[in-house]
Amino acid sequence: MLKIIDRYIIKKYLGTFSFMLILLSVVVLVIDVQQKIPRIENAKLIDPKLDLTYFLIHFYPFWIINLVMTFLSILVFISVIYFTSRMANNTEIVAIISSGASFHRFAKPYLITSLFIACLSLVINHFVLPWANIQKNQLEAYTYNARNKEKVLGTAPVSAQLSRTEYIFVNSWNKGEKRGSGFVFQKFDKNRKMTYELKASDVLWDKAKKQFVLSNYFEKTINKDDTEKLGNGPELRKNFGHNPDELFPNELLGQNKTTPELLKFIQREKEKGNSNLNSHLNELHQRTSMPISIVILTFLALSLSSQKKRGGLGINLAIGISLAFLFVFSFEALKVVSENKSMSPALAMWFPNIIFFPIALYLYLKRANQ
């Protein structure tokens, strides 16, 4: 049963957090729009409908969701430091403890609220955020600079491993138009001897029929006695079991899949022999580790700011913002380390929590025993 003091602290927690959330969203949105207006205007030259209004409706709401979920634990951390420091400066915490309540009892509404936000964040990360990312990623490339836009929408050589014995190579594939040239499909037996090869001058993805259309194809079947059966023609339609986004995935693909879909995709890629999955595994583990960090950082913030200090709110916020940047930087740095295969994705994405948890526990117990 929640008492008056519990409701009071929960109201302060959620009120401060909501204010910080809205403030961050508005400020970052205004800054980002001003910065990217020239790129959005260039996108309008490609497609007249891609004006600023279109981006404000079809891109930025989903971009904001992604941004908020990325920095949610940090917002919680700074919010708790802010309102708890104000309570400490106003001697509210001293009054509560002096009334006979233990520090553990005082911390109860912090636990309830942080668990509520963490559970909500888990659901959003695993099921809602991928939907938002699909909407965001359809337009995000148009907000990149020319070099990064070319990486997402431009033309480049690609390859795919369908299984341990089947491979696709495309000499020049346009990711935006989903067409290319210089297509090669090769199949091998268990002794790594080629048994089939299919070449085409051009390849196009037919979205309606979910097939690849191969133009001016040439195919060769190699029999066990080394004789060859040849064939060619103006057009051939093939289904390789996956669409181009899954055959030639980029780092954004994992963001677009719900967790059950992402698990199936990772398992399928492992069965095919693909070992370059760390970016997708990072995405999988981060969806759980970030919400858990909300609880850890809540108690770290409570421990740091629940005593009145010389310097008051300012010094607490300075410490909080410094730790927040350290936390975010460690996540981003460990992503790079993991993608370079210097650390397992699971350890990389849980390492900040592993470090911050004992620190938060020690400071909390120290504060509770004072």
Exposure pattern of 270-295 as b/e (b: 16+ CB <10 Å)?
eebeeeebbbbbbbbbbbbbbbbbbb
Average pLDDT value over all residues in the chain: 90
Please check the confidence at residue 183 and state whether its pLDDT lies above 70: yes
Compare 196 and 250 and report the one with higher pLDDT. Answer: 196
Predicted pLDDT of residue 175 = 86
Predicted pLDDT of residue 329 = 84
Q: What is the mean pLDDT of residues 112-133?
A: 96
Predicted pLDDT of residue 326 = 86
User: Rounded CA gap, 140 and 245, in Å?
Assistant: 16
User: Rounded CA gap, 240 and 210, in Å?
Assistant: 10
Share of the chain above pLDDT 70, in %: 98
As beta bridge partners, residue 186 has 167, 197
Contact between 203 and 181 (Cβ < 8 Å): yes
**Alpha-carbon distances of 189 from 147, 165, 183, 223, 229, rounded to whole Å:** 40, 7, 21, 11, 17
User: Rounded CA gap, 367 and 370, in Å?
Assistant: 5
pLDDT digits (tens, 9 = 90+) for 65-75: 999 999 999 89
Predicted pLDDT of residue 288 = 96
Pair of tokens at residue 166 = 């089947």
Exposure pattern of 180-199 as b/e (b: 16+ CB <10 Å)?
beebebbbbeeeeeeebbbb
Q: What is the mean pLDDT of residues 146-150?
A: 81
Contact between 359 and 298 (Cβ < 8 Å): no
pLDDT digits (tens, 9 = 90+) for 333-346: 999 899 888 899 99
Please check the confidence at residue 113 and state whether its pLDDT lies above 80: yes
Alpha-helical regions (H) of the chain? 4-46, 52-58, 60-70, 72-89, 92-98, 103-106, 108-123, 129-140, 146-153, 244-247, 259-271, 278-305, 312-339, 345-368
Please check the confidence at residue 1 and state whether its pLDDT lies above 60: no
pLDDT digits (tens, 9 = 90+) for 75-104: 999 999 999 989 988 889 888 888 888 899
**Alpha-carbon distances of 269 from 66, 231, 250, rounded to whole Å:** 26, 31, 13
Share of the chain above pLDDT 90, in %: 60
pLDDT digits (tens, 9 = 90+) for 230-277: 999 999 999 998 899 888 887 778 899 999 999 998 998 888 777 778
Q: Is the dihedral of CA 95, 99, 100, 106 positive or negative?
A: negative
Confidence of residue 215 (pLDDT cuts 50, 70, 90): very high
pLDDT digits (tens, 9 = 90+) for 304-318: 888 877 666 677 778
pLDDT digits (tens, 9 = 90+) for 132-144: 999 999 899 889 8
**Alpha-carbon distances of 218 from 132, 226, 229, rounded to whole Å:** 42, 18, 11
